[in-house]
Amino acid sequence: MKCIAVYLLAVQKNYFRVYSPEMMTTWKSFLEFDECVSHRLRLTPANKGWWQVVTVLAHSGDSWFLLAGLAVVWLLGNSAWRERAVVFGVGIVVLACLVFAIKFTVRRQRPAGEWGAIYRNTDPHSFPSGHAARVTMLAVIGLGLGPLWFGLLLIVWAPLVSLARVMTGLHYLSDVLAGMLLGLLVGLAMLAVQPLLVSYLPFLF
C-alpha cells in the first residue's frame, strides 16, 4: 500500500502535466513505484532457508545450464525429445539476441546489490530480464509440444524463476514482466516455425 500511495501522490502532483510534453515526470513516477515494489519483494541472506531456495530458482534459468541439459537430451533422448531439445535450443539463441539488443538499447542499470556478481559483471543491464523471457518461452514451447505434464511443469517453474530474479535483487518487477511478455511472443513464434526447422535442419532431428 505504501508503494501505491507514493505513486498516486507523484501522479497527483503532476496531474496537469500528464498529457503535456513533460510526460517524463509521470514516467519517472512509474519507475519510482516499480523500484518501491521491487524493493519490498527482495530477500536477503538473513532469510536463510528461503534465500537458498530463491537463489537456486534464480540460477535454474541460466542459459548455459539449460543448453547443457538440452545437449544431453539431444544426445540421449528419443526422436520426440530430440525435436524438443532442438526447438528449445534455437529459441534460446534467438531470444538471447533479442534480449541483448533491447538491453543495450534501453541500458537500464540493475538494482544496487551484491548478490549475483557473475550477472552484474557480465551483463550490467536489467531490462528486460533474460531469465524471465527464457523460462517463459520454454514454458510456452513445452506446453505447445507436450507432453502435457511437461508443459504444466514448466508453466509452474517459469513464474517462480521470474519472481526469484526480483527477490534476489537482480531485476525490477517491470524487467521480469517485460521479459515474460517477450518470452511469450518468441515462444509462440517458435511453435509457428517449428515445422520449418524440421524441413530445413533435418540433420538436427
Answer yes or no: do 54 and 28 share one domain. Answer: no
Answer yes or no: do 188 and 97 share one domain. Answer: yes
Answer yes or no: do 32 and 66 share one domain. Answer: no
Answer yes or no: do 27 and 75 share one domain. Answer: no
User: Would you say residue 88 has pLDDT above 70?
Assistant: yes
Answer yes or no: do 23 and 73 share one domain. Answer: no
Q: What is the pLDDT of residue 5?
A: 46
1 versus 135: which is more confidently predicted? 135
Number of domains in the chain: 2
In the chain, the DSSP E strands lie at none
Answer yes or no: do 24 and 56 share one domain. Answer: no
97 versus 204: which is more confidently predicted? 97
Q: Per-residue pLDDT tens for 34-67?
A: 888 888 888 888 777 788 899 999 999 999 999 9
32-46, 65-79, 95-109, 124-138: lowest mean pLDDT where?
32-46
For residue 13, give its domain range: 1-41
pLDDT band, residue 8 (cuts 50/70/90): very low
Answer yes or no: do 131 and 50 share one domain. Answer: yes
User: Would you say residue 3 has pLDDT above 50?
Assistant: yes
Answer yes or no: do 191 and 105 share one domain. Answer: yes
pLDDT band, residue 22 (cuts 50/70/90): low
Answer yes or no: do 34 and 49 share one domain. Answer: no
Percent of the chain with pLDDT over 70: 89
* The model's pTM: 0.84
Q: What is the pLDDT of residue 154?
A: 97
C-alpha atoms less than 13 angstroms from C-alpha of 139 in its C-beta half-sphere:
24
Q: What is the pLDDT of residue 20?
A: 54
72-76, 123-127, 153-157, 173-177: lowest mean pLDDT where?
123-127
Answer yes or no: do 151 and 68 share one domain. Answer: yes
Q: Per-residue pLDDT tens for 174-189?
A: 999 999 999 999 999 9
CB neighbour burial string for 169-201, b if at least 16 within 10 angstroms, e if fewer: bbbbbbbbbbbbebbbbbbebbbeebeebeeee
Q: What is the pLDDT of residue 21?
A: 55
155 versus 21: which is more confidently predicted? 155
Answer yes or no: do 56 and 155 share one domain. Answer: yes
Task: For residue 97, give the C-alpha cell.
Answer: 539476441
| Alpha carbons 20 and 17: distance in angstroms, whole number | 5
Q: Please give the torsion angle defined by the CA atoms of residues 95, 97, 103 and 105, in that order, rounded to the nearest 10 degrees.
A: -130
For the chain, helix (H) and strand (E) counts, in that order, are: 9, 0
Task: For residue 123, give the C-alpha cell.
Answer: 551483463
Answer yes or no: do 37 and 52 share one domain. Answer: no
Q: What is the pLDDT of residue 16?
A: 40
pLDDT band, residue 115 (cuts 50/70/90): confident
From the list 174, 200, 190, the residue with the least C-alpha distance to 90 is: 190
